[in-house]
Amino acid sequence: MDRTIDRRTMLQLGGAATVAAIAGCSSGSDDGDSGGSGSTGYEQYLAVRNNQVSFAYADFQALQEFNTGDSGGGGSQGDLGLDEPMLAPVGGLLLIGFAAGFQLGALGLSGLIQTESGSELSSQGNQILLSNGALVVVGDMDTDEIDSQLTSESEGSFATQYEQTDESNGYTFYEPANSDSGMTTSSGVAAVSGTELLVAESRELVDAVISAVGGDGRAVDEFDEFRWLLDNGGDGLVALGGYGPDGFSGFGGQSGGSGGQNDGSGGQNDGSGGSSETELSFVQNSGGFVGSISFDGEQVTSVIAASSDGIAETDQGQIESEFQSDRTDVSVDFQGDNRLVAEATYSRDVLEGSSGSDA
């Protein structure tokens, strides 16, 4: 089996999907409403690591209502103007796309996420997360099919053959068969159940997610403030966020993410041509933020919830100015001394113009 990393698939999952989805290129949704339902549905996968949590999330099944097309170059944050804070959540899709492209490609499982090129796999992922550096694919998993993909002989310069190493808590674990090769990979451990595929550099990262699924060590249970952030900012098709009571070190600050490789899971070196971190000055030394994007017909709505001691220490006018956009109005609702919720609604034509898409 050829497990050479498929650059085209990586771009389809990352930049190309981002440009088309954020531009709202609808392929025919009857009701036009693809926003959240009031519950994130992914909080059970978010564990605490090093006294903080970071994540990115995308509901690819819902995003398939939008025509991903082929933008040729895959798009970039510069194309969409994602350097403005209210579009920062779209960086979650970029992180996921590039991480999934590298990690699933190394496993021979790129076809888990449907693109316009189709897939030969009966297994299909509907939702993807990055949870503290661990990749989580949620959907319908044919465990026998995935076992065959992982354990078969492979070809290509980045080829890795896997073997079963353990079964625990309803998951079957796989690790590289040739562990003496000396090669470090962000896909070092995989765990498969009938509904999930977990991939990470270490067993520790995978076990943390499995424990959270079982109800132990969930970030929303450990941190009340993170639960508030998720409840107020995480209800969308694409989400990005992080929190730490002693300071949030960002998406490149979690150890065990990419192992130094350009696989997209480490945050800063994500191959997207820009940073996926928020530039909000008041969320630097404490607290965190959660933001998400929802689609509704011709409109794209972004919501960001932030919590930080820096909010009380910073002039509200300065904070409001950091959120402002040249393309739409942004409302900022200050809630108490240390919390705020910002919201902006973009029209599809404005974003299409900024992205240069032919949607």
Domain span at residue 218 reads 7-355
Quick: pLDDT tens for 305-344: 999 888 888 888 989 988 888 888 999 999 988 999 999 9
Quick: pLDDT tens for 220-260: 999 999 999 999 999 998 999 999 988 777 775 443 333 33
Domain membership flag for residue 110? yes
Domain membership flag for residue 329? yes
Quick: pLDDT tens for 39-59: 578 999 999 999 999 999 998
Domain membership flag for residue 2? no
Average the pLDDT over 104-127 and give the result.
Answer: 77
The whole-model pTM stands at: 0.78
Domain membership flag for residue 117? yes
Q: Which residues pair with 331 in a beta bridge?
A: 343
DSSP per position, 262-284 = SSSTTSTT-SSSS--S---TTSS
2 has pLDDT over 50:
no
pLDDT for res 39: 54
CA dihedral 31, 141, 53, 44 (to 10 degrees): 70
Residue ranges with strand state E in 193-350: 196-200, 238-244, 287-296, 299-307, 330-335, 339-347
The 8-class DSSP code of residue 15 comes to: I
Domain membership flag for residue 1? no
* Candidate ranges 1-5, 18-22, 221-225, 250-254; pick with highest mean pLDDT: 221-225
User: 200 falls in which pLDDT band (50, 70, 90)?
Assistant: very high
Closest by Cα among 178, 114, 109, 120 to 147 = 109
Q: Which residues pair with 333 in a beta bridge?
A: 341
CA dihedral 204, 205, 210, 214 (to 10 degrees): 90
CB hemisphere CA count around 190 (13 angstroms): 29
Quick: pLDDT tens for 285-311: 568 999 999 888 778 899 999 998 888
In this structure, of 141-145, 203-207, 277-281, the range with the lowest mean pLDDT score is 277-281
Domain membership flag for residue 277? yes
Domain membership flag for residue 151? yes
Number of domains forming the structure of the chain: 1
* Phi (first) and psi of residue 162, to 5 degrees: -110, 160
